[in-house]
Each structure stands twice: as structure tokens, then as C-alpha cells.
Structure 1
């Protein structure tokens, strides 16, 4: 397999071209117009930012991508799936409220927002993963799988479990339903926090395997019957049902790659990453620390693997921002992401994704 093309432009502007116009030129140069968008539903997968976090991508960038899709006759929508953890995006209503709080609306983006896995994070499609080592059926948000074309628009930053959050993280983890996210995070099964449980019985009603009983107004899960589907997590109104967290980071990365394969396989896709506000941790945090490196630029490719590697290489070439967590951690590992989160290994996701045939880690960087 030859090298994949990755297109790049920096964040400098002129009086004739602003950043949105530059992004549009980048993705057109990278070949997005080669896709047949005519009357096609197009999912633009991005992260709307946890309330309190200010490092997420501005809605203006989403509008630029949506406008290009509409120019080609497509029907774009912005999408993300609900989170596994407790926060501002654990169900569709809170998720939409959080998106609106962070500036995402039809007026600001030029398209509608659909939460991929529905109201409670249980609206999913089971996608068989051919040659999957860890995942046999990926649980992907229904609306995302209904789309004809898939575009990822990623904020490239550090991540405390996966090393960095780029295209693979945005696609694989981001498109998993709540049960899918639990599968990636853990090989175990959920448990019940008795202090939070009110004995309402919602989890018991949702369990197809009779694994949940209610005794003295407290739920209990029989792990000999539980299959780990995670639907009880989605329906619990008090977040008393909690996921396990027994998986190693390397296996998490491999499962994430297999979920990425499930999302992309068999349909047209295109990928964009902005290496700006490179915070040390995920945008799922309700806060963000100062960037670890200066802003780099915007990248685009048909190959999400080559895109992630190109972005990682670009970050590792950057100097450290004074006073950042990266400076405090030092450079023992000679990799900015491992220096920030020493227990991570982002290359495990890349290597597994290559083995699955998703893309190529060898790339040619084309600067415009």
C-alpha cells in the first residue's frame, strides 16, 4: 500500500482569506468534492464540548464543513452519541442543552443536530466486526449508521486513557452507544451504587436476561446472568448503575479501532482534524488546562489513520508551552502525549487499525 495523502494548512490568515475560508479550501483540495453528496444524508461527527470546557471546536468550523456539503447537494447533520459517565451529555436532552450552551444551533452551524444513540443512549445498531479480536458486534448510534456519508471533524488533543483524541477516538469511542462505550472501557459488567439507587425498577424492566432484582428498594445485578449490554446504565434516572473499568488502555485502544472499522466500513467517509488548543486531556472534562503546544493547523484526509499519525507527528515537533502540564511532566518518553499521560500508548490504536485495514500510517503531507 502506498502512502496516504494528508493535506495541511497552518492557522495564518490574510485580509483576503479567514480561517473558515481556509478550512473550506483545505477540504476541497483534499478531495471532499469527489464524494457524491447529492441528496445524501451526511453525518458530521464532532464533540460539542462538556459544559465548562472551552477547548472544543467552535461551531463556526462545523458550519464551514456543513456549507461545503450543502454546496454539493448533500443533507448534513451534526452528531455525537451520549456519554457513559455522569455529566452534561449523558442523555439527548442534556446533550442538546450542552451543545446549545456552547454555541451550537441551526443558526450557528447551518444544519440540525441529531444525537446518534437517542434519548437515553440505547438507540443502537449492532454491526458485526469482521476479523474483530475483541469486538464481535459493535454497538453504534442508530442515526449515525443511517447516514449515507460519514465525516469526522475532530479536535486533536491529549487524552488520559488513549494518549490523544483524534479521528479514531472521535469515530470509534464517539459513535458507540452508551453500552458500546462500556464495552470499550471494560470487559466487566456494571454494578449498582447502593447509595444512589432508589429502587425504581427501571433497570430491572430494561434487562432482557432477568439479571436484576430489587430487594429492600435497592437493585442488584447477577453477573452470572448479565451479558454486559449496558442498557441498565442508560435507563437509570439516578446514575446508580455504574460501568466497570477493568480494561487495560491498550485493549481499550484496540476496541476503539474495531468500533472505528464498524462505523466506516462499506460507505464513503472523509476526515478533518484541527490541531488547535491542544489541551492535555479530553473535551469530556468540564474544564480544560492551557494547551501543551502552540496551535499547529488544520489537516484533512480520506484516511483517518494517516491523519492521526500526521497530527501526532506535528504535535511532537512543537515546542512546549511554558507553564503547561507538558512542561511540568518533562520529556522522559520523547513523545508529548506519553509525557503527559505516561500510562498511555496511542500507537496501539494505530497499529490495530492498520491491521484491520482501515488505513495506512505511512503518509505524504501536502501543504496548501
Structure 2
């Protein structure tokens, strides 16, 4: 397996958010999870250690707090590691499309040396050409394109905000590895889908044309059209369309998309056996990815922090914990959902998050079987 999980159910460590003393605050909980999950063993003296985060698109404010990233950086330094905080440039146009704009957005959101105690590095370089190919035993890929500075890092600690996603259904550790560790060319390899417009639903607002990074989406006779030859499958049109007039053939496209995503996640960790660690943050569980320039109301109450050396088990535990909650009032789940109902399937009817778990196990990324261990 790509991670160092033992045979049998993977251990996933969980800390809730209750705190009535300084030794139970959120920073203290992260330290306890780090220790309980054995993450210290992944960091050697002098290790260049990538802390993979998502800095959030300009306008999003529900990304992981920089103070929590600082806590993890301090833990790595205490082990003698040399942390740097990192992300990769986006496929779509926006405030993180190149390293200059990306770093400016990161600083605006509080991710700078003064707060983090570690440098910020855009792992795929100025224009997303710092790329290395990594062999993987995949169904769709034999090699995947991963950001060079993530491949070259000695160790990798992945901090993921668990939330919804319009294509994957939800985004956690696996998606943060797959899309988040890939340069633009790798992101395009994974998407590899083409969107079309349902004319009856289109209201001619032009939002899709405004955000399309290649000009594939345009207006014609007061309706949106998409040039499939120019479409790179980034999904931005789907995100901003108020009437959900954008579509793909979900029955045939979504499963291969999810499998490609899993194989890219494997490529991000396959060269680091015993040198990877994963935190998921079950706070501000928004319906959309942090790639959108807004933050919608959370769909469930805040739950806590989780940690594991197995990213598949970690995401499965998070999905189960979210679905155990009743939906928040006045959120995107307009009709409300009770405890035990699938929140992300209700948000995104085409979601096939189960493929993450099935294909993740098939290619050796991890196992969906887990034991949840409470950390006080």
C-alpha cells in the first residue's frame, strides 16, 4: 500500500471540539492527534516536509485557519523537520492561476511566514511547469504528473478541509492529494470531461462565459454554448450556473473521473512510504469546494478534527460522521435532511464518492475499513 497502515481496519483518530481548559483547545487537540496517530515517525531530522493545504480562492473564508497550520508546522520543527506550506496553481482562471497571484491570495488569507513560522512555496512553480512524472499502477494512467516540489519533498503532511464538491461530491484527503498536488496539466488529465448546455434551462446570464478560462463557453442568441474542442473540463461553468444548465453524461463520465482522481492521489504519495500523514478538518462543512470565491452556510454543524496515515479510511470516516448529523437549517440542503441521510448525494445527485473507496483500495492507496479512536 502507498501508506503505512497496518493490515485490517486502519486507525482514524478523532478529537471533538469541546474545550473548557487550555490543554483542550484546538491547537492542543491537533498536537494530541499528531502524537496519537504516530505522525512523529514520518518526520526525520532535516526532512524537507511539505504541508499541503488549500489557501482558498479570494472571497472564500472557510478554508483551514492559518493558526492551525502553524500548530502543525511547529510540531514538524520539534521533530527536526523543515516544513514548508504549499499548494498548486489552478486549472481555471481566478486568484490562484499563477504563483504570483496565488501567493498574494495566500497572504491575504493569513498564510505568510509571520503567522505560519514556515515559508510558503507554490509547488508547481510560477506558471505550473515545475512538474515530474510519477509511475503508478493505474487503470487509466501508467504515469501521472505531480508538482515537482511535492515529489522532491522528503515527507508530506496533508491538511484537508472536508466539504462538498460539484464533481467529486465531497473533497477530503484524497482530492487534496489528487487535484491539489497536480500541476495544471495533471488537473486537466483528471478532469478530461466535456460540458454541454441544456438550452431550456439556460437563462442567458453569461456567468459561464465570464469564468471560462479558455473561452470555450460563449453567448449566442442569448443562450450559452460550449465549444467542446476548447473545453478543458475544469467545471467552473457548472459551479457558477444559477440554473444548473451545464451538464456532462454523468452515467458514463463520473466513474472514470473519480478513478482518475484516485490514481493521481496515489501518484502524490507512492514515493513516500511511511512519510505521509493526513489531517481532515470537519469544520465549516460547506456545500462547495474552497475553490469558489464565496463561502456558503455549512450543511452540518462543526464536528471535529481527524487524523490517520490512511487517506481513504480518513475520508470514509469523515463521510460517515457528516451523514450521522442532521442538516443545518437554512443551508443549501433546502428541504433538510435527518441524521443518517447522505448529505452530499442530496447536494450533487450525480456524486459517486463510493468510487474513491473502491478504487482507492484496488490501486493500493488505502482501505475504507477503519476503527475510529477518540482522542481526549
Q: For this structure pair, what is the TM-score category when the shorter chain's length is used for normalisation?
A: 0.7 to 0.9
Distance 1:287 1:106 in 2: 25
Q: Give runs of aligned pairs for residues 1-368 of structure 1, distance below 5 A.
A: 1-17=7-23, 18-130=25-137, 132-186=138-192, 193=215, 248-267=253-272, 268-328=275-335, 334-368=341-375
- Which structure 1 residue ranges, 4+ long, deviate > 6 Å from structure 2? none
> So what's the TM-score if we normalise by structure 2?
0.81
In the aligned structure 2, how far is the partner of 1:191 from the partner of 1:295? 34
CA RMSD of aligned residues (A): 2.6
Matches of 1:20 and 1:115 in 2, distance apart? 25
Q: What is the rounded CA distance, in whole Å, between the counterparts of 1:194 and 1:155 in structure 2?
A: 30
SS of 2:263 mapped into structure 1: helix
Q: Is the 8 A contact 2:62 2:290 kept in 1?
A: yes
Residue ranges of structure 1 left out of the alignment (5+ in a row): 197-222, 231-244
Return the offset for 1:192: 5.5
The range that moved more, 75-84 or 10-19, is: 10-19
Contact 2:43 2:76 (C-alpha < 8 Å) held by counterparts = no
Task: Give how far 1:356 is off.
Answer: 0.5
Number of aligned positions between the proteins: 325
Q: Deviations over 1:45-100 (max 9, x none)?
A: 11001110111011011001110000000000111110000100000000000000
Deviation at 1:22, TM superposition (A): 1.4
Taking the aligned partners of 1:312 and 1:160, their CA distance within structure 2 comes to 16
* 1:249 Cα offset (Å): 2.3
Gaps of 5+ in 2: 1-6, 195-211, 219-228, 235-247
TM-score w.r.t. the length of structure 1 is 0.83
8 Å contact 1:121–1:177 — kept in the other structure? yes
> Quick check: 1:321–1:327 contact (8 Å CA) kept in 2?
no
Q: 8 Å contact 1:250–1:344 — kept in the other structure?
A: no
Counterparts of 1:125 and 1:329, CA distance in 2: 45
- Secondary structure of residue in 1 paired with 2:292: coil
CA deviation after TM superposition for structure 1 residue 334, in Å: 3.1
